[in-house]
Amino acid sequence: MAASRYRRFLRLCEEWPVEETKQQRDLGSFLRQRVAQAFREGENTPISDPEACDQMYESLVRIHTNFYKNKYPRLKNTTFTGVTVEDCRVILATDILKQMEDMKRGTWKRLREKFSAKKPEEDLK
């Protein structure tokens, strides 16, 4: 039985897309890592709680197939702020988040880091 569960999870991992714009924050990458950890011995991995394993798989399938999005369709594809899904994807991209983090640091701190020979962590000591 463990072999069939392992194959189902592998198939799900193959189907699940990886978003390159979300480096180290992508659900597809995280899922692949967790499956690799859970099934270290591949098809021969003993499963301590088969019911929980099946429940986890079914939950992930519902997320992947947009079960609840299809079951409860929205009237508009925007949030309460008026931001579209595509705008959210752009905003949540790793490159944009890094740029926003740089903007948060402030001009004086950026200049000090740029012209300082030592790292900012050394200033705190």
| Phi–psi pair at 41, nearest 5 degrees | -95, 15
Mean pLDDT of 1-12: 87
User: 79 to each of 66, 89, 97, how far by Cα in Å?
Assistant: 18, 13, 20
Which amino acid type is present at position 19? E
Residue in 70, 48, 55 with CA at minimum distance from that of residue 8: 55
Q: What is the pLDDT of residues 33-79, one digit of tens each?
A: 999 998 888 888 888 888 999 999 999 999 999 999 999 988 877 67
Q: What is the pLDDT of residues 54-66, one digit of tens each?
A: 999 999 999 999 9
Are 2 and 55 in a shared domain? yes
pLDDT value at residue 71:
94
Buried b (16+ CB within 10 A) or exposed e, 62-72: eeeeeeeeeee
Are 60 and 34 in a shared domain? yes
Are 81 and 111 in a shared domain? yes
pLDDT value at residue 51:
92
Q: What is the pLDDT of residues 67-110, one digit of tens each?
A: 999 999 888 776 777 777 777 777 777 676 677 676 666 766 76
Residue 111 above 80 pLDDT?
A: no
pLDDT value at residue 61:
94
Number of domains observed in the structure of the chain: 2
Are 69 and 82 in a shared domain? no
